[in-house]
Amino acid sequence: MELKIFIVLFCALFTGGHSLRCYECLGNMDSCENKEKTCPATDTTCVSATHVQTSGGHAVKKQSKGCTVTDACTSTSVNFGYYRFTMSTQCCTTDLCNDKYAPDSSNSPNGKQCYYCDGQSCFSKLDCLGDEDHCFKATKTDGSVSQTVKGCASKSVCDATSQYPPGYTSFSCCQGNLCDSAMSIKQNLLFLLWPLFFYILIH
């Protein structure tokens, strides 16, 4: 019995106490310098992530690496039509295994369409890209002014509210082409006439 207890304690001491080591960095693709980091006991996965923000045809790409929990190993994509954010990840569970960059998310149309708001109305159609398999509808708040935004998103964005962009609330997602039905004519008229109402109010 004492021998068995000794073996259990020995194994716990020399195997259970091992902490994963991962590369850690954050920066542009050409300036992300790898540094070794010993992960906390709760983080059992190394991750490499590539973040791309695209606006007006211009893309800004950044790279990050580090320790994480297994559940955080998800790729995300949210597309507003005029702006798109993607994050692709690669995860592994051995020491210093996250030495390579995660590949970019796909920019190829996947056959799905959603409505998006172009500043004039919310009747414009958007071709979804990569793993954007849901349509979403949300409210963007800037101070006291709120407006509706729509577009394409990956399932991971719809499942995790912590990944919603700052300033966006009331997210709702659906599946099926153009399921984020366009705003009614009444809603669009109110949106377009609001500046006139405000002008009359202050004069």
From residue 116, give the alpha-carbon distance in Å to each of 20, 60, 113, 122. Answer: 43, 22, 10, 5
> Nearest-CA neighbor of 78 among 170, 156, 178?
156
Cross-strand bridge partners of residue 122: none
- Rounded Cα distance, 199 and 203, in Å: 6
Distance (Å, whole) CA 69 – CA 181: 37
Domain architecture of the chain: domains with CATH? 20-105 (2.10.60.10), 106-192 (2.10.60.10)
Q: CA 97, CA 156: separation in Å to the nearest integer?
A: 24
Instruction: Per-residue pLDDT tens, the chain, 203 aa: give them.
Output: 443 433 333 333 344 456 899 999 988 766 678 899 999 999 999 999 999 999 988 999 999 999 999 888 889 999 999 999 999 999 999 999 999 989 999 999 999 999 999 888 898 999 999 999 999 998 888 777 888 899 999 999 888 755 556 777 778 899 999 999 854 333 333 333 334 333 333 33
Phi, psi of 11 (to 5 degrees): -65, -40
